[in-house]
Structures are given as structure tokens and as C-alpha cells.
Amino acid sequence: MRVRDAVEEDGEVLGELADAPAEVMRNVVHDRTVRVAERPSENGDSSNGSDASGDSNGEDSGGEGSGGGSASANAGGADSDDSNSDGTAVVGFVGFDAMPGTVRVTYLRGTPEARERLLEEPVRFARKEGMAVEALVPEGETETKEVVEAAGFQRAGTGPRFEGGQTLEYRLEPSGRADSARR
């Protein structure tokens, strides 16, 4: 699995994964750090240049902004398997932003394996900066809750309502402990 920065052209496939309009997701790509996970598509070449960590060509995956990815996706005319012109398919994405003392994950979508790998991105950035990580998970997303809990996050309460649905807030402290230290 390869992880790269999202680009505006990913808006269509991100919209499908997030059940949101493509234009909204293109704006998210500009407003937050967004990373996508790709795998070789059914028709693509299985040798996509990834190293063992999942990053291609040795890029630092610290997440210092988005839009500067090493690969361009052609998601505008994506077919049902979300294949890109480079023989890969987007299988998930994470969207996060940094605020004083905290990295907040607002989107974590995709296959369970992609979500596990993508959650490492904001956690790595936060640890490097000595920050806590908060993840907002829609209440009904059992698989996402399981991924977040398996990564060491602890339930910290309820988050804001989003599109009429309740979200749950999870927190991971900089040391890896999810204790009571809060904003």
C-alpha cells in the first residue's frame, strides 16, 4: 500500500468514500492535510515503487500540508473501482489539521487496512511535535472505532454533531497514553 498527499483531482473518489460532494472534498484537500492510500488496481502493475513503510520514493510522511503529492490521480472519470490512470486505486484517506497542542483527525475512510495505515500519519506528526491526537468518529462507524481503539486511542466523550449524526471523540496523548490531560 502506498500513501501520498491528496491532490485536488482526488476530490471525486474522496467524495465517494466520505459520502460527500466532490467539490466539498476538493476544498478539504486545500484546507487540511489529506493523505490517501493506494493499491495497485486489478488492471494495474503490482510493482508501484513502494517501500516497506508504504511511502513511495522516500518522501517524509510528516504531513506538513497537502497538495504536493508525488503522484497525480485522474479521479474525475473514475470508474467503479476508483482506478487512476497510473494503475492504482485509492482505497482510503485521512484528513487532519493541527491546532495548538492537538492534531485533530476529522476524516478516516476506506478499507480497514487503509484506515490502520493512514491513522499512522497524524499520529506520527503529533508525536514528532509533542502533540496529542483527537479523532472524531461518527457514532455508527464500528470499524473506524475499532481501528482507532486498536491504535491506542481512548474514548474522551462525544464530539460535535455532523449532518444530524453524533460523533464520538477519541484521544491519544503525546506519550501514547490516553489519560485525562485535555486541551
List pLDDT tens digits, range 114-149. 999 999 999 999 999 999 999 999 999 999 999 999
| Ordered alpha helix ranges (H), 52-175 | 112-129, 142-150
Sequence-separated (6 or more) residues with CB below 8 Å from residue 176? 127, 152
The letter for the amino acid at 167 is T
Which residue has 492534531 as its cell numbers?
A: 103
Average pLDDT, rounded, for the chain = 80
Q: Which domains does the chain have, with CATH numbers?
A: 2-172 (3.40.630.30)
The predicted structure's pLDDT at residue 8: 94
What tens digit of pLDDT does each residue of 28-77 get? Answer: 999 999 999 999 887 654 443 433 344 443 344 444 443 333 333 333 33
Sequence-separated (6 or more) residues with CB below 8 Å from residue 72? 7, 9, 86
Contact 40, 56 (CB under 8 A): no
The predicted structure's pLDDT at residue 41: 81
Give the residue-averaged pLDDT of 157-166: 90
Look up the pTM and report it: 0.74
Q: DSSP readout, 21-66? A: -HHHHHHHHHHSEEEEEEEE-TTS-S---B-TTSBBTT---S---S
The predicted structure's pLDDT at residue 175: 74
The three three-digit cell numbers of residue 144, written as one number: 473506524
Give the residue-averaged pLDDT of 95-101: 95
> What angle is formed at CA 77 by the lines to CA 68 and CA 34, rounded to 5 degrees?
30
| Phi, then psi, of 77 in degrees rounded to 5 | -115, 35
